[in-house]
């Protein structure tokens, strides 16, 4: 695991901010090899989050190439605590095979916050008013797109080709 990036209070504040900015759903992306131990660990993670399951919804893709059906979970007080428990209070916690590589939080069907744990970077799409509110959290950040993100500033309203 990488060294701690966010404290428990900072992580909780980020999740609460997401909720206040309209986030009601989240998804994750795992690194795994089919049939390998990594797949079992991913499935165990999904099982722990099953109480928050919201099924498949048409959501923005992480690469900015439109929207497609994705399995998601409800973001509420209970699931936020489960996320904090899984990450030991650090949303940027990265432990390949044991934790998601990406956390995505959705306001409506578009990505509000993308956390890329293995790169220790995040993209937060907010209005100027929301940015002013986020600044009050005291979490260091800068405008602009992280170098690893392929997420456009605005969602691409195309349906992904299957």
Q: What is the pLDDT of residue 151?
A: 61
From 105, 83, 81, select the one nearest 93 (Cα to Cα). Answer: 83
Q: What is the pLDDT of residue 59?
A: 96
Q: What is the pLDDT of residue 14?
A: 96
Cβ–Cβ < 8 Å for 65, 156: yes
Widest Cα–Cα separation across the chain? 47
Q: What is the pLDDT of residue 43?
A: 92
Q: What is the pLDDT of residue 2?
A: 47
What single-letter DSSP state applies at residue 114? E
Q: What is the pLDDT of residue 119?
A: 78
Rounded to 10 degrees, what is the CA torsion of 101, 120, 93, 66? -30
**pTM for the whole thing?**
0.86
Q: What is the pLDDT of residue 32?
A: 74
- pLDDT in single tens digits along all 162 residues of the chain: 445 689 999 999 999 999 999 999 999 988 877 888 888 989 999 999 999 999 999 999 987 788 999 999 999 999 999 999 999 999 999 887 788 889 999 999 999 999 888 777 888 888 889 888 988 988 876 666 655 555 656 666 655 555
Q: What is the pLDDT of residue 63?
A: 79
What single-letter DSSP state applies at residue 6? S
What are the residues whose beta carbons fall under 8 Å from the beta carbon of 65, sequence distance 6 or more? 156, 158, 160
Cβ–Cβ < 8 Å for 59, 112: no
Q: What is the pLDDT of residue 147?
A: 57
Q: What is the pLDDT of residue 135?
A: 87
Q: What is the pLDDT of residue 38?
A: 82
Q: What is the pLDDT of residue 130?
A: 87
Cβ–Cβ < 8 Å for 32, 41: yes
Q: What is the pLDDT of residue 28?
A: 94
């Amino acid at each position: 695991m990488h060294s701690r990036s966010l404290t428990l209070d900072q992580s909780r504040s980020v999740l609460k901010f997401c909720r206040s900015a309209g986030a009601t759903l989240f998804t994750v992306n795992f690194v795994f090899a089919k049939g390998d131990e990594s797949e079992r660990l991913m499935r165990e993670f999904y099982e722990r989050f099953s109480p928050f399951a919201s099924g498949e919804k048409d959501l923005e893709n992480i690469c900015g190439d439109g929207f497609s059906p994705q399995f998601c979970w409800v973001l509420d007080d209970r699931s936020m605590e489960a996320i904090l428990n899984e990450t030991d209070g650090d949303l940027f916690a990265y432990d390949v095979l044991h934790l998601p590589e990406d956390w995505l939080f959705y306001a409506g069907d578009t990505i509000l916050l993308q956390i890329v744990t293995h790169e220790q970077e995040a993209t937060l799409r907010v209005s100027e008013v929301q940015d002013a509110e986020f600044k009050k959290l005291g979490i260091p950040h800068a405008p602009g797109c992280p170098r690893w993100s392929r997420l456009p500033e605005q969602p691409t309203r195309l349906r992904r080709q299957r």
